[in-house]
Structure 1
Amino acid sequence: MTSLADIAGVGADPRRGGYSRHGFDRVELELRSWFTEEAGRRGLSVECDRNGNLWAWWGAPGDGAVVTGSHLDSVPGGGAFDGPLGVVAALEAVDVLRARGFVPGKPFAVVVFAEEEGGRFGVACLGSRLLTGAISADAALRLSDSDGVTLAEAVRSAGLDPSRVGPDAEALRRIGVFVELHVEQGRGLVDLGAPVGVASSILAHGRWRFSISGEGNHAGATLMVDRRDPMVAAAQVVLAARRAATAVEGARATVGRLIPNPGGTNVIPSSVDLWLDARADDDARTRAVVAEITAVASEVAAEEGCVVTVSEESYGDTVVFDVGLRDSVSGVLGGVPALPTGAGHDAGILAGHVPTAMLFVRNPTGVSHAPEEFAEADDCAAGVVALASVLEELAR
């Protein structure tokens, strides 16, 4: 827990609580410097790829490497463990392996993926999506944050060349197998009484932007019957999301971000943007939920004299992790439980290209993406030892 304590003051959010650490902002760049220093202290050589992902190599870089790691960014007001625990555990696993006298028989690296949460530019797992070609470079570079700063401008400020952003066949070829440790985002391990588990699958999930345009006007001078208020339509879309997801077993739909323009207390907004996060067991169910919400949005917008446009910002189909690797990992750990997860991860993006596995560490609160997210020190230590044992087996 010492390494987590070292970065406990970086990105603390006094307004929201928890942490706000976003891709290529000042805070995340400070964390990247911390990682580079920690890796160097262990004799690992660090390089940054064309998409801003950091690679710390134990020995010489090479193809078919055993790779572990996670991310350092967070959602706005996120917890201390989502992402950083996987990075810290990877570094600590190197220490454990060295203490055992182990020397990798294959190339070995610890990776930090850029902008995993999408908290700044809206697209989750941006670093791994760019690496694998899951998003085009042009589309990614046009993304902008709430201040209008584009990804192209952000990476340039971080010392990267925007013209080189995009699919990276060389980096992908270097990954022979990827294992990501993560705090569990739910209560599966709590209910099973297990400190560590493995992931079996990730729900199909995506993000959609609903832009509703109406007519801005004076809150006091405009009669109710004369209004074309996009906020009224937006409110009904939020409620429709709850109804649509509740009607499909296992589905989840969330509107966690809504921005009115211009945003004045005594102003009828001229437009409202809201973002829908929708997830379900498979592609068909996920898209059925979104289709239902979209139909309601069109209907309520028309009733209010408004216009709505819907755009898909990111999407990932159901991920089933490599069964052979999952069973091998579970066997190394004495048969720990396998759990599905509703949370997306860089491991899920890589799973379509290389054998990928995930380890979960028990979260006693079951809360994630919030300040109450937690993991006990003993469980974190068990996760480090488990990760080290898995890496040792894979890197013989």
Structure 2
Amino acid sequence: MSFESLWASQSAIGRDPDTGGYRRGGWTPTEREATHWFTDQCAARNLTLESDGIGNLIAWWNPPQDPAFRPGIVTGSHLDSVIDGGAFDGPLGVVSALAAVDVLRAEGFVPSVPIGIGAFVEEEGSRFGMPCLGSRVAAGVLPPEKALGLTDRAGVTLAAALEEAGIDPAGVARSPLLERMGTFVELHVEQGRGLTAPVGVASSIWPHGRYRFTFRGEANHAGTTLMEDRHDPMLTYAMTALAANKQARLAGARATFGRLSVEPNGTNAVPSQVTAWLDARAADDATLQSLLAAITKQATERAERDGTTLDVVPESVSPVVDFPTGLRDRLVDVLDGAPVLPTGAGHDAGVFSAAGIPTAMLFVRNPTGISHSPAEFAEPDDCLAGVDALAAVLKDLAT
């Protein structure tokens, strides 16, 4: 099946016809529909499907002369999305992996080692707030008991969501799938404007973290409370958001408050509490820590002036990931000198690399630089170039 046909067969799943944005939160009906699409595609290719306790999947193309279950080359990505996300972040890597295997089979190529196509769950963390949730559990980075206790915005625990999806939460543990992952190569749409060629190779993933800022004050009447008598946590938060913007610009880093919860959330009431989630990223670990310290310092000083309080809790922190240069350079050679660039976006590839699995990434050009938005885009010709590049890499690694 051609890339175009594969892409079209899954592109409507979870897509809002009015906004064009996708909603495929982990273990929701739309994400499960996308997962079923994947398993059907694997069955149509007679691939051997394996799953772990949390729902990560790898479908294997095993060499006919060696049916033993031994480590191989895994590619793929994820099928979930951020809230109102774009079409390419995640699915492009899965669809391209299926298409690349089709290309190799059409050429008559027979791999010397198994080739696996992976679909990893809740990479975005849009439902349970933990990025790369499936790969973190698989790698043993996130303990099962902590993962199962995570809750979504409706208060549903991960354990309950798994049961609803027909998955026994008692089976959540470090994944046996990783024992067969000899090398991992993830293809992904580039999520900025750093790539000018159709396909590039990743050098590293910036360190990044998600931090929960809780500002507490005193609820009061919006109409009768004098401005000088207020202990308004919204003011403290507002200054903190501005401080984050300034400090990130000064450091050449990234800082974003993209999620907010207000109590009691009344139009005519001074809030008693504002909870805001900071996404912070930088080129190195020291800069990230310095950025967080600067934002927290300014927020704390402002809280003292406003008569409010502040608590900062890190929910997830990922250190810098430098992909192994030997594997990276091998991909560059296979692709005739493809450009090399870092990324500020997090990926399952970063988790697997940190777990000691030789890992590399391919990027497909994004002409707008927009991502996590319905406007996310990649040209059809660049997507086809990505499939050819991935097929060439798999052929080289599996020969």
TM-score class normalised by the smaller sequence:
over 0.9
Choose 38-47 or 231-240, whichever is displaced more. Answer: 38-47
Choose 117-126 or 15-24, whichever is displaced more. Answer: 15-24
> Cα distance, 1:61 vs. partner?
7.0
Indicate the residue corresponding to 2:143 in structure 1.
136
Indicate the residue corresponding to 1:291 in structure 2.
293
**Aligned: 1:188 with 2:190:** no
Q: Is the 8 A contact 1:61 1:108 kept in 2?
A: no
Unmatched segments (≥5 aa) in structure 2 = none
Distance in 1 (CA, whole Å) between partners of 2:200 and 2:272 is 49
Q: Is the 8 A contact 2:51 2:177 kept in 1?
A: no
**Aligned: 1:9 with 2:15:** no
Q: Is the 8 A contact 1:53 1:127 kept in 2?
A: yes
Indicate the residue corresponding to 1:65 in structure 2.
72
Indicate the residue corresponding to 2:107 in structure 1.
100
Indicate the residue corresponding to 2:331 in structure 1.
329
Distance in 2 (CA, whole Å) between partners of 1:300 and 1:5 is 51
Q: Is the 8 A contact 1:61 1:107 kept in 2?
A: no
TM-score by length of 2: 0.95
Indicate the residue corresponding to 2:57 in structure 1.
54
Indicate the residue corresponding to 2:245 in structure 1.
242
Specify the code of the residue in structure 1 equivalent to 2:290.
A
Distance in 2 (CA, whole Å) between partners of 1:101 and 1:164 is 39
The secondary structure found in structure 1 opposite 2:390 is: helix
Distance in 2 (CA, whole Å) between partners of 1:240 and 1:142 is 33
Q: Of 279, 293, 304, which residue of structure 2 is paired with 1:302?
A: 304
> Cα distance, 1:5 vs. partner?
2.0
Choose 71-80 or 41-50, whichever is displaced more. Answer: 41-50
Q: C-alpha offsets along residues 191-233 of structure 1, whole Å, 9 cap, x if unaligned?
A: xxx1111001111111101011112222223222222211111
Q: Number of aligned pairs? A: 391
Unmatched segments (≥5 aa) in structure 1 = none
**Aligned: 1:233 with 2:239:** no
Q: C-alpha offsets along residues 60-119 of structure 1, whole Å, 9 cap, x if unaligned?
A: 572321100000111111110000000000000110010010122112210001100111
**Aligned: 1:28 with 2:35:** no
Indicate the residue corresponding to 1:171 in structure 2.
177
- Could you list the runs of 4 or more consecutive aligned residues of structure 1 that deviate by over 4 angstroms after TM superposition? 14-17
Q: Sequence identity, in percent?
A: 57
Indicate the residue corresponding to 2:270 in structure 1.
268
Distance in 1 (CA, whole Å) between partners of 2:184 and 2:254 is 28
TM-score by length of 1: 0.95
**Aligned: 1:78 with 2:85:** yes
The secondary structure found in structure 1 opposite 2:384 is: helix
Distance in 2 (CA, whole Å) between partners of 1:264 and 1:17 is 31
Q: C-alpha offsets along residues 11-53 of structure 1, whole Å, 9 cap, x if unaligned?
A: 1236764112111111101100111111111111223211210
Distance in 2 (CA, whole Å) between partners of 1:7 and 1:177 is 27
The secondary structure found in structure 2 opposite 1:82 is: coil
> Cα distance, 1:392 vs. partner?
0.9
> Cα distance, 1:162 vs. partner?
1.9
Distance in 1 (CA, whole Å) between partners of 2:8 and 2:228 is 57
